[in-house]
Structure 1
Amino acid sequence: MKRGDQQYNALAERIGRLHLQQRLGIEQEHVKQIFGRGRNFFHIENWYSVHALMRLCFRLAGIYERGRHNAADIRVCENEVFIPDLPAGLDGFTILQLSDIHVDMSDAISRALNQRVTTVKYDLCVITGDFRARTYGSFDAVLQGMVKLKSALKGEVLGILGNHDFIEMVPGLEELGVRMLLNESALIEHNGEHLYVVGVDDTHYYQVDNLDKAASAIPAESITILLSHSPELYRQAAHSDINLMLSGHTHGGQVCLPGGFALTYNINAPRRMGRGVWRYHGLQGYTSVGSGTCVVDVRYNCPPEITLHRLRCGGQGG
């Protein structure tokens, strides 16, 4: 995507020239980078010789195939979110969260995800970033995989970019019917009531999130759901009248010790925010372990998931 291109101009008008310029510039610096900028000094996703070595180690240990089986055994998790003053028409409103789907990583995992989403009922689907496995290069395989996933999903689908995703993917994803939120918000109507979904650009590596801009058009005291690829935005969200923050990025550790103990969550946030339900002051949050895999297509002691968040009246949050 270059200055003057039709897609460049359309995105620049939509999200602002400076945001687009920053995103594209950092993307170019990030290509094939193993050591350097971002929240992390070491980017293992880009060191592909290490990926092969890890697969070899799992094979020699005799656990590789078990790990691949684990990675395709996608669970359905449910989370009830109690919100004071939730309008009666939104009681029971259900959000399906998919995260870190990495659709170009493994055909077996993608097939399992496509099948699993057809078994659940929901009112809205959100995808909290990392559509692809690699962090650079062609994303044709991602768009091809998304054709199949989108056909398995029902109703409206909203998405945000993760640290693996290039902004050049946005036009293709939106042509498939995935509405991408780039520091933007969407109004959702249901049973005569409405809520807002705010989506910020990647806060982990690119650090081009802008919650102020994304939520600027939302009336006070509205029911508001925030999509942020990483939970690292928790402080700002807690003081922004957000009712629920949905994140991913961590994979729950992906390869964990017995008992699900993760060696790292790769986030600049408290460890308790690395997976599942958490709270910070009045903010309710949930960090999905995701349905895909990164680096190697295995999981140990950390089952993949899709998540149903059901809004309920009452409780102490908000």
Structure 2
Amino acid sequence: MGTDILRKLEARLGPLHARQRLGIETDHEAQVFGQGLTFFHLENWYSAPAVIRIALKLMGLYWRARQNAERILVKRNDVRFAELPPAFDGFTILHISDLHVDMNEVAMQHLIELVRGMQYDLCVLTGDYRGKTFGPFEATLDGVAKVRAQLQGSIYGVLGNHDSIQMVPAMEAMGIRMLLNECEVIVRGDQRIYLAGIDDAHFYRVDNIEKAALPIPDGAFSIILSHTPEVYRQAAHADFNLMLSGHTHGGQICLPGSIPIKLEAVLPRRMGAGAWKYHNMTGYTSVGAGSSVLPVRLNCPPEITLHCLRCGR
């Protein structure tokens, strides 16, 4: 790592936080077994792409799965909240997750065409910008920059389990405000809501919901960004109204009916894709715009989502 990146991270996060996060990253990266919330990490197994490719070819599904991975859908999710300030009625959030930009150039070009000129009030990115979980990330940053060039207004992001914290200075230089256990205020007129984001909770386990929620006044409307939805209990009991996440890919390779063969997450299957509810918190798990391990999808099309916030029950 260059001294310039270290200096910027220390200035951004403080020397202790920066060195701790970098140390954890070095200790954990590319491990197949152990660490994180799950024991086996398919994305770190070097044979995984070949095994999946061969299996799909034997079933005659490989080329269809490749084409599916390029066909990104735009989904709409309207959600109502009694606690939402009236000034934010109709407030629309563009939610993009799991880009894995260096895995599928055709899919990313399609994404760029989809978001160009799209209307929304805020854009959030919920992690996993890189294809692999380790190694160089320059190609990732180039790909993110191309997508970012077509996005408008304020953009906020969090890191995923595929991402290095070393990417943060370059992403913030592009105009993407990275939330690392932090919170920002979103203002409309004389009313406000709070947007918090946590660092990766799945593999590196460096999330701190308590720190992210600390600036939020009691009773204020709040949204939390987390790469993984696996911390839904902690987020709900911290009184967040809305949780936006990704990570699961909805299974990516699913049986008919979008039934995932493997979810790569420790949580109820109903929370593995789309809208869900837990206690008083509403959640949404994006199946992602990109693909992991191999650029293939079956019965689980990639997506970006427009969340429209509405007042009322």
Q: Please tell me the TM-score bracket, short chain as reference.
A: over 0.9
Conserved? CA contact 1:15–1:183, under 8 Å: no
**Residue in 2 aligned with 1:169?**
167
Which residue number corresponds to residue 244 of structure 1?
242
Matching residue's letter, 2:303: E
1:42-191 residue pairs with structure 2 within 5 A?
42-118=40-116, 120-191=118-189
Per-residue CA deviations over 1:281-309 (Å, capped at 9, x if unaligned) read 10111111111100110100001110011
Query: Does residue 21 of the first structure (1) align with residue 14 of the second (2)?
Result: no
**Unaligned ranges ≥5, structure 1:** none
Instruction: Using structure 1 for the length normalisation, give the TM-score.
Output: 0.93
Q: CA deviation at 1:111?
A: 0.7
Tell me the residue number matched to 1:280.
Answer: 278
Partners of 2:181 and 2:83 in 1: CA distance: 26
Q: Per-residue deviation at 1:59? A: 2.6
Match of 2:30 in 1: 32
Counterpart of 2:288 in structure 1 is: 290
User: 1:13: how far off?
Assistant: 4.8
Q: Deviation at 1:18?
A: 4.0
Partner of 1:217: 215
CA RMSD, Structure 1 to Structure 2 (Å): 1.6
Secondary structure of 2:149's aligned partner: helix
TM-score by length of 2: 0.95
Deviates more, 1:9-18 or 1:233-242: 9-18
The separation in 2 between residues aligned to 1:26 and 1:152, in whole angstroms, is 34
Give the residue type in structure 2 aligned to 1:211: I
Give the letter for the 2:237 counterpart: H
Render the CA deviation track for 1:232-272: whole Å, top value 9, x for unaligned.
11111112221100011000000000111012222222221
Aligned residues: 313
Q: How far apart, CA to CA, are the structure 1 residues paired with 2:117 and 2:253?
A: 27
Report the CA distance between 1:154 and its aligned residue.
1.1
Distance 1:13 1:148, change over 3 A: closer
1:152 alignment partner, SS class: coil
Q: In structure 2, what is the Cα distance between the partners aligned to 1:92 and 1:265?
A: 32
- Structure 2: runs of 5+ lacking an equivalent: none
* 1:139 partner amino acid: F
Question: What SS class does the counterpart of residue 172 from structure 1 fall into?
Answer: helix
Deviations 1:147-185 (A, max 9, x none): 110111111110000000010000011111111000011
Query: 1:84 corresponds to which letter in structure 2?
Result: A
1:6 CA drift (Å)? 4.8
